[in-house]
């Protein structure tokens, strides 16, 4: 390529490819792709809605999805489908804010909790952790943060519900540090809580944002007082300000100062306090995501790492969702763009199938309008309709043979044995489970002994969805029964003899997954631990890479 001296800069920029390259780089730089990790009820839905409202992407509260009404506990097919139909539309929300394009990926919770929830996190560049300040760190947050840690994803933390009686803020930070093993750098600090919640003190800007309750008010609609020593504050809240000064001194002494590099490498999280329902603190969160969270970064693939600003398009599928209409077996594959520019109608190579496909009827996800977006860049998500020929982990590229790595399967926590009422349908059962397994709807294990199959999932709704889909799409009436298995681990070793000894000696607890990988099915935590101790030459894995 031509060296650019001050004289020929314009010539270089005029060349079509330099223009394209510059444009791609610009688009990549202004993108932020993140997901929210939280335990059910911490306020994810509320915060999502406020983020969209604040950015002007939606005008009315209540648009994101019905909260309680959307929580279903029945196995009714239509209910599930309806719910999933809604979540197709809201599973990726793209909006613009301060000249940035933000892709917010939904991480399904409640009964929708499934492996998808985990895998979505492999497609984001940062995550927003929402914690209910009255409850502290909860179970689902721990699991999701573990997944983020696999790629050292930067995390922004929001301590929500400060308008309620909460736990002591210092204690909350301690808990995050000790349970989640991540350094906390408080950026805002709460003044009081519950009925006496007065606002937050911004530790970096040295200013106080006064809290005002009200669901309908716009974010940022609060008074700011400069300086913690401002005499006005002492007049307004004589009690609270003394307390605040003491706490701030403690915080300065005992906790970490925000450090961008540490945040970007996933070892430190900036912490904000606020109240999502009152739209208080949402602007700070958005600013942190824009100013601090990373733009799309390089992703690992076989052969080489792929840079987002490369000119040629590439991406991978991280989630597959069945369509609303059970009569059609249409699915939408969610693809994260990793490099280049997607143009509607372009031809790309589907690497696993070794085939060219034309991406014409692609779904995009602008939260503000139904307009069909014609182009997409690294960090964006596009939906590819297909008839079951796509799998989780599939890579697409404009020619080059590379497969993205790091799209894992997670060891399930819940297990069912599957039987069929009509033995003549065995073939359909296997075919159905094979396809549903490839889609990532459920994991299928075939024990070395016996003919029953074992299904594994991380969320209980996965079993209900699979049962209804087997019936509706494959005509198989399957019976799911409880199983004595409590966890699974994929087993590997360089020592072939040890592996085959293991397989024969522990046959009743050994199975192969749908992709033919050896797995150990443990009946309890103790059983797993003892087995690991007894077989030191084997490695037991809680995740496995897409093959
Ligand atoms: P989720 O998606 O994480 O499950 O949580 P969601 O936003 O649905 O919020 C769970 C509950 O917490 C909701 O109340 C919501 O109104 C409430 N909430 C969210 N943010 C705040 C906050 O800042 N302060 C207070 N006090 N409450 C908050 P709900 O009664 O379960 O549902 P709804 O009937 O209000 O919709």
358 is in an annotated binding site: no
CB neighbour list of residue 16: distance below 8 Å, 6 or more residues apart: none
Alpha-carbon distance of 102 to 63, in angstroms, equals: 18
pTM of the model: 0.87
Element (H, E) at 381: strand 381-386
Average pLDDT over residues 381-389: 83
Q: Please give the pLDDT value at position 138.
A: 95
Phi first, then psi: give them for residue 286, nearest 5 degrees.
Answer: -60, -40
Alpha-carbon distance of 288 to 286, in angstroms, equals: 5
Confidence bin at 4 (pLDDT 50/70/90): very low
Phi first, then psi: give them for residue 448, nearest 5 degrees.
Answer: -65, -25
Alpha-carbon distance of 149 to 180, in angstroms, equals: 10
| Residue 340 in tokens | 């280049």
Which of 43, 199, 273 gets mutated to test ligand 1 (max ligand atoms within 8 A of its CB)? Answer: 43
Q: Please give the pLDDT value at position 55.
A: 75
- When mean pLDDT is compared across 5-9, 129-133, 138-142, 321-325, the lowest value belongs to 5-9
Q: By C-alpha distance, which of 515, 421, 534, 518 is closest to 475?
A: 421
Can you tell me which atom of ligand 1 is nearest the CA of 48? Answer: 7
Alpha-carbon distance of 205 to 64, in angstroms, equals: 33
Which of 48, 67, 86, 282 gets mutated to test ligand 1 (max ligand atoms within 8 A of its CB)? Answer: 67
Q: Is the pLDDT of residue 7 over 50?
A: no
Average pLDDT over residues 412-421: 92
Q: Please give the pLDDT value at position 1.
A: 39
Ligand 1 mean position, distance from CA 41 (Å): 6
Quote the percentage of the chain above a pLDDT of 90: 57
Alpha-helical segments (H) within 105-138: 115-120
Q: How many CB atoms lie within 10 A of CB 283?
A: 20
Q: Please give the pLDDT value at position 204.
A: 94
pLDDT top residue among 398 and 363: 398
Q: Kindly state if the Cβ of 44 falls inside 6 Å of ligand 1.
A: yes
Q: Do residues 454 and 415 touch, judged by C-beta distance below 8 A?
A: yes
Alpha-carbon distance of 275 to 197, in angstroms, equals: 10
Q: Do residues 255 and 188 touch, judged by C-beta distance below 8 A?
A: no
Farthest-apart Cα atoms in the chain, separation? 83
Alpha-carbon torsion 320, 323, 324, 328, what sign? negative
Q: Do residues 49 and 59 touch, judged by C-beta distance below 8 A?
A: no
Strand-strand pairing, 341-343 and 346-350: unpaired
Confidence bin at 90 (pLDDT 50/70/90): low
Using CA positions, which residue lies closest to atom 9 of ligand 1?
43
Using CA positions, which residue lies closest to atom 34 of ligand 1?
68
Q: By C-alpha distance, which of 163, 158, 165, 123 is closest to 141?
A: 158
| Residue 7 in tokens | 């004289």
Question: pLDDT tens for residues 463-522?
Answer: 988 998 899 888 999 989 999 999 999 999 999 999 999 999 999 999 999 888 999 999
- When mean pLDDT is compared across 173-187, 325-339, 498-512, the lowest value belongs to 325-339
Classify residue 120 as exposed, middle or buried by CB count within 10 Å of its CB (0-12, 13-18, 19+). buried
Element (H, E) at 541: strand 539-541
Cα-based distances in Å from 105 to 128, 251, 365:
11, 33, 10
How distant is the alpha carbon of residue 496 from its chain centre?
Answer: 36
Alpha-carbon distance of 227 to 289, in angstroms, equals: 25
pLDDT top residue among 114 and 198: 198
| Residue 124 in tokens | 């984001």
Question: pLDDT tens for residues 333-342?
Answer: 899 999 999 9
Element (H, E) at 418: strand 414-420
Confidence bin at 54 (pLDDT 50/70/90): confident
Q: Is the pLDDT of residue 150 over 50?
A: yes
Can you tell me which atom of ligand 1 is nearest the CA of 275? Answer: 23
Q: Please give the pLDDT value at position 260.
A: 98
Q: Please give the pLDDT value at position 160.
A: 98
What does pLDDT average to over the chain? 86
Alpha-carbon distance of 33 to 403, in angstroms, equals: 21
Ligand 1 mean position, distance from CA 37 (Å): 15
Average pLDDT over residues 137-145: 93
Q: Kindly state if the Cβ of 266 falls inside 6 Å of ligand 1.
A: no
Q: Spell out where 295-354 has E strands.
A: 299-300, 305-306, 314-322, 331-339, 341-343, 346-350
Alpha-carbon distance of 397 to 340, in angstroms, equals: 9
Average pLDDT over residues 252-278: 95
Alpha-carbon distance of 453 to 483, in angstroms, equals: 11
| Residue 135 in tokens | 């409850």
């Amino acid at each position: 390529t031509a060296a650019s001296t001050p004289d020929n800069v314009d010539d270089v920029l005029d060349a079509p490819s330099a223009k394209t390259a510059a444009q791609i780089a610009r688009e990549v730089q202004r993108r932020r792709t993140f997901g929210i990790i939280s335990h059910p009820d911490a306020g994810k839905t509320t915060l999502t809605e406020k983020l969209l409202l604040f950015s002007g992407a939606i005008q009315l509260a209540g648009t994101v999805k019905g909260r309680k009404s959307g929580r279903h506990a029945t196995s009714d097919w239509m209910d599930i489908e309806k719910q999933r139909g809604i979540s197709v539309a809201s599973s990726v929300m793209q909006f613009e804010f301060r000249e940035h394009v933000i892709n917010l990926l939904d991480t399904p919770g409640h009964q929708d909790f499934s492996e998808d929830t985990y895998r979505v996190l492999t497609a984001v560049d940062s995550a927003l952790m929402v914690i209910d300040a009255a409850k502290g760190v909860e179970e689902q947050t721990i699991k999701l943060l573990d997944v983020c840690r696999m790629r050292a994803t930067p995390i922004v933390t929001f301590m929500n519900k400060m308008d309620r009686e909460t736990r002591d803020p210092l204690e909350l930070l301690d808990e995050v540090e000790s349970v989640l093993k991540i350094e906390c750098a408080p950026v805002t600090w709460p003044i009081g809580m519950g009925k006496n919640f007065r606002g937050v003190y911004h530790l970096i800007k040295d200013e106080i944002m006064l809290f005002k309750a009200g669901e309908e008010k716009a974010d940022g609609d609060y008074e700011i007082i400069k300086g913690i020593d401002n005499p006005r504050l002492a007049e307004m809240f004589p009690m609270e300000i003394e307390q605040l000064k003491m706490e701030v001194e403690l915080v300065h002494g005992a906790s970490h100062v925000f450090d961008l590099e540490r945040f970007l490498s996933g070892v430190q999280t900036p912490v904000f306090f606020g109240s999502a329902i009152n739209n208080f603190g949402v602007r700070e969160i958005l600013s942190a995501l824009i100013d601090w969270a990373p733009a799309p970064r390089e992703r690992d693939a076989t052969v080489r790492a792929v840079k987002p600003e490369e000119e040629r398009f590439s991406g991978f599928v991280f989630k597959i969702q069945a369509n609303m209409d059970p009569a059609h077996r249409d699915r939408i594959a969610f693809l994260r763009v990793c490099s280049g520019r997607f143009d509607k109608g372009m031809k790309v190579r589907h690497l696993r199938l070794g085939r060219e496909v034309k991406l014409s009827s692609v779904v995009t996800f602008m939260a503000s309008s139904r307009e069909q977006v014609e182009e997409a860049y690294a960090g964006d998500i596009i939906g590819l309709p297909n008839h079951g020929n796509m799998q989780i982990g599939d890579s697409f590229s404009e020619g080059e043979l590379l497969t993205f790595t790091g799209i894992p399967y997670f060891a399930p926590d819940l297990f069912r044995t599957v039987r069929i009422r009509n033995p003549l349908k065995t073939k359909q059962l296997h075919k159905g489970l094979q396809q549903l397994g490839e889609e990532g709807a459920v994991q299928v294990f075939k024990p070395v002994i016996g003919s029953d199959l074992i299904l594994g999932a991380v969320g209980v709704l996965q079993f209900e969805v699979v049962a209804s889909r087997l019936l509706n799409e494959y005509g198989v009436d399957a019976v799911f029964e409880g199983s004595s298995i409590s966890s699974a681990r994929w087993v590997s070793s360089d020592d072939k003899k040890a592996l085959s000894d293991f397989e024969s000696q522990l046959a009743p607890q050994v199975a192969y997954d749908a992709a033919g990988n050896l797995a150990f099915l443990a009946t309890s935590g103790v059983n797993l631990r003892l087995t690991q101790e007894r077989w030191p030459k084997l490695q037991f894995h809680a995740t496995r890479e897409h093959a």
